[in-house]
Amino acid sequence: MDTRVKPAYDTACFELEFLMSVSLTSRIAVVTGASRGIGYATACALAKAGAHIVAIARTQGGLEELDDEIRKDGGSATLVPLNMTDSDGIARLGAALHERHGKIDILVGNAGVAGPSSPLGHIDLKPWNDVIAVNLTANFQLIRCMEPLLRASDAGRAVFVTAGSAQRAPGYRGPYAASKAALETLVRVWAAETASTPIRVNLFSPGPIRTRMRAIVFPGEDPMTLETPDQAAKFIVPMCAPEWSETGKLFDYKTRRLMGFSAE
């Protein structure tokens, strides 16, 4: 069975119009890994479009900086210091959001770790498990705990951040590549299961972006040659809007194309 990603259609014209017109007023948006990088930029972009942000990250200081940035532009946020490996904490968050809001409208699963850059035979079990716990298992728990809240929305939207490594399977990046490939399958399964509901579930592949994680993995790379998290985040916002109708797709930021999966 061939499940390679194939182009669905060119969305360039659609994006240029839609990026200027998205309104997320009164929408509740949960963003993981929100204290820096793409998560930080996405939380700011969603807040500028009118959403109330539920920002999740391990670092309190990073969350407070995000809160200052969002409030500076007139937005609002709820800060949730939480390690994504805390499955019980994710469940408690789901219960708290149900009690406070009764729903969520947007879920952005962005939190991730790079893991070791080594041959597979040189990687110990613990760092392997650590990568799988954050990049895969935590997102599974998010789906379990947030789906009922998304179903309570009139137009629940979920976007998970993946990576080109999931398709390319580069050497020395085994745990990261495997975890992202598994995440893509997990998200596609969920998209299939929710296809007959108002929930739309998709993937976003940013490509090389100027983030701290990228600098750690590629220390010799000139970061000024890369696009910024703010630039990428602008393309996540339309995928979170009620008007977005696609599900089970992958938006490739590098090529600006929405990709479908073929089972031929």
Neighbours of 166 (CB within 10 A): 21
Nearest-10 crossing angle of helices 37-48, 229-236? 50
CB 43 within 8 A of CB 71: no
Active-site residue, from 9, 40, 172, 176: 176
Q: Going by C-beta distance under 8 Å and a sequence separation of 6 or more, which residues neighbour residue 152?
A: 102, 103, 104
Find the radius of gyration of the CA atoms of the chain: 17
Neighbours of 42 (CB within 10 A): 32
Element (H, E) at 6: strand 5-10
CA dist., res. 56 & res. 5, Å (int) = 30
Is residue 172 part of the annotated active site? The answer reads no
Residues identified as active-site? 176
